[in-house]
Chains A and B, each alone.
Chain A
Amino acid sequence: MMDQQPTDGYYNYPVVRRPVWTWEIPAYFWLGGIAGGAYVTASLAQNFGSAEDRRYLADGFYLAALAAIPCAPLLTADLGRPERFHHMLRVFKPLSPMNLGAWTLTAFAPLTVARAAARAAETQLLRGPLAALTRLVPKTLIELTGTVLGLTLAGYTGVLLAATNVPLWAKSKLLGGLFMASAMSSGTAAVALAAARRGAPDAILHRLATIESAASVGELAMLTGYLAQSGKTARPLTSGRVAMPFWLGAVGAGTLLPLLLHRIAGRRHGGILRSLSSAAALGSLAGSLALRWSIFEAGKVSSEDQAASFELASD
């Protein structure tokens, strides 16, 4: 609840309605971001990396598929009428970010599964007729298409929240950029975690650390801009019930801790490097969930903030 201060409005009643969405939505934003980020990193490693990059980082396709598969069920579960989930696809209407997202996910999820299956066939994990079928998968083509779709999936979620009249989501123009940066850092973190577990060479972990750190710096920049543009409107996020998960989880564990750990890991090798990389990756993954969850929950509080609504609507 907001502080009861006298306002110009009608009995301090909210101007806009409270979003009806539940936990499935931030969970989906998180998984969709990881799926997109992991797929983009794995695809770029395939097309620009060394032979070792290609071998060790192709596991990213498994991660992308694993993260993408629960997305549609989560979105369906949050509907008021889940049995009508397919109505999302009865029109093509990219003007609505939610329609754009439904189409993107519909195209992206099967693509991740196809690419993961192709990888499984390469490593003899998948044998028999299914493995023969994966030879039909045009790898480079779906890596390229998947990169574009993965980036769209990672970034549109922030725009979806922002394209409303909830003050916390709509005031700043940077929420889409923030979610994109967070998705890329957590997706790369997932790839790094898998690579560290498989005992990838030090050079690969160092390269991933550089990429992850770049994403974290971008995330910090977006976050700073987001908070600065939001001003007083950001109070439900920065000092409300979700302040702890936001500052400690999203900012601390999600960006500052990985940056610090990667800096320490910069000149380390072997076991200690793997431990530091894994810890940084876990922090980044947890922080990315904390970011989505805290902004989502704080948005509900913000929707009841009459003064913030009037400020959003002032010229």
Chain B
Amino acid sequence: MIDRYQRGMNLQSPPPPRTLKGFFTDTSLCIGCKACEVACKQWNQLPADGYALTGNSYDNTGALGATTWRHVQFIEQAKANGGSRQEQRWLMMSDVCKHCANAACLEACPTGSLVRTEFGTVYVQQDICNGCGYCVPACPFGVIDRAPIDGHFEPGTAHKCTLCYDRLKDDMTPACAKSCPTASIQFGDVEELRERARRRLGELQARGESKARLYGMPDGKEAQEVGPLHAFFLLLDEPEKYNLPAVPRLPRRTMAERYGWSAAVGAGFALVAALVFGGRR
């Protein structure tokens, strides 16, 4: 009986846990070639997004979305009248799903379609997702999105980076990291990547990159609510410059207080109504 229910509802026991896998995206090495965007689209068979020009530097991708799981940003920091080298620069960054330790999308999902895999990544099970769309505004980074209902690509369900779950299962490197020609995108065990990131930050700071910082490490304030990011970054400026929130919010943290106000109003109303009916006045 329970067996049949589990089969019917696609409830299966999860595979045994493996070492945490993730990305370390070192933006100081990014040259904006967009090979990651292309490799991701090819491997995951994601459709093209058209040929619209944004007019914002070389970024014609715009944002992460249902069919865009890597997005290269081009941040032009040029002052008209000179300035130091620090002020004349062109920052590039390949953005991706952060695979948060406490993922807002996963917690919001009402069907259990969004799961944590054995590699510690966050994954949408396409056969479970019913396209309720709740994960979309839940994500503090604006990563996950629902594919258009009238489109050709998996219509009506939620999509985002899978960290190439299919490749991980076969001990292969995700497509974006594999294709990155400068090792800006590095793939591996999260613990080892963090070690590497700390060393790299030290090197850059020694060279005078005073604004360089890591984003998504366990001790960072960005990890306060969503926890450490399994896809984390070395940035050369404040997170906001890359459209990353300083303290990404996890809705669960404030949920009890919100329910509390709602319950208080409801209980207050019921009390007043009972008194009015009971008092017969």
Contacts and interface: CB of A to CB of B under 8 A. Distances in A.
Interface in A1-33: 8-11, 13-21
B69 to A, nearest CB: 14
Nearest to B259: A159
Interface stretch (A81-89, A115-123, A127-135): A81-89
B11 to A, nearest CB: 7
Given A309-B245, A313-B140, A80 B270 contact: no
Contacts of B111: 84, 87-88, 90-91, 99
A295 B98 CA distance: 29
A288 interface: no
Contacts of B262: 155-156, 158-159, 176-177, 179-180
A163 B269 contact: no
A96 B249 contact: no
B205 interface: no
Contact of A218 (B143, B221, B265, B276): B265
Name the residue in A13, A78, A163, A175 with the highest tally of chain B Cβ atoms < 10 Å from its Cβ.
Answer: A163
A16 B261 contact: no
A60 B28 CA distance: 65
A313 B258 contact: no
A310 B129 contact: no
Contacts of B281: 207
A303 interface: yes
A6 to B, nearest CB: 13
Contact of A81 (B73, B130, B241, B278): B130
Interface stretch (A41-49, A231-239, A269-277): A41-49
A266 B170 CA distance: 76
Contacts of A93: 109-110, 112
Nearest to A217: B272
A87 B280 contact: no
Interface string A173-204: 11111011100100010000000000000010
A286 interface: no
Interface residues of A, number: 82
Given A91-B111, A211-B276, A164 B269 contact: no
A109 interface: no
A147 interface: yes
B189 interface: no
A264 interface: no
B258 A98 contact: no
Contacts of B247: 313-315
Contacts of A303: 137
Contact of A177 (B56, B242, B264, B272): B264
A82 B243 CA distance: 34
Given A91-B111, A165-B139, A165-B140, A313 B261 contact: no
Interface stretch (B38-46, B149-157, B171-179): B149-157
B276 A207 contact: yes
A274 B238 CA distance: 63
B112 A91 contact: yes
A10 B270 contact: no
A243 B147 CA distance: 31
Contacts of B143: 17
Interface of B: 9-11, 54, 56, 59, 62-63, 65, 73, 75, 104, 107-113, 128-134, 136-147, 149, 155-158, 221, 224, 238, 240-243, 245-249, 251-252, 254-255, 257-259, 261-270, 272-274, 276-278, 280-281
19 contacts: A11-B54, A11-B56, A13-B62, A14-B63, A15-B142, A17-B63, A19-B137, A40-B270, A48-B278, A79-B133, A98-B108, A159-B258, A163-B255, A164-B108, A165-B104, A165-B138, A170-B254, A184-B266, A312-B249
Given A80-B149, A165-B139, A312-B249, 16 more contacts: A10-B73, A17-B139, A19-B136, A40-B270, A44-B273, A49-B280, A80-B133, A84-B130, A87-B130, A90-B128, A91-B110, A95-B107, A163-B255, A164-B134, A210-B276, A218-B268
A-B CB proximity, top 4 nearest: A80-B131, A80-B156, A313-B245, A176-B262
Interface of A: 8-11, 13-21, 40-41, 44-45, 47-50, 53, 78-82, 84-85, 87-88, 90-91, 93, 95-99, 102, 147, 151, 154-156, 158-160, 162-166, 169-170, 173-177, 179-181, 184, 188, 203, 207, 210-211, 214-215, 218, 222, 299, 303, 306, 309-310, 312-315
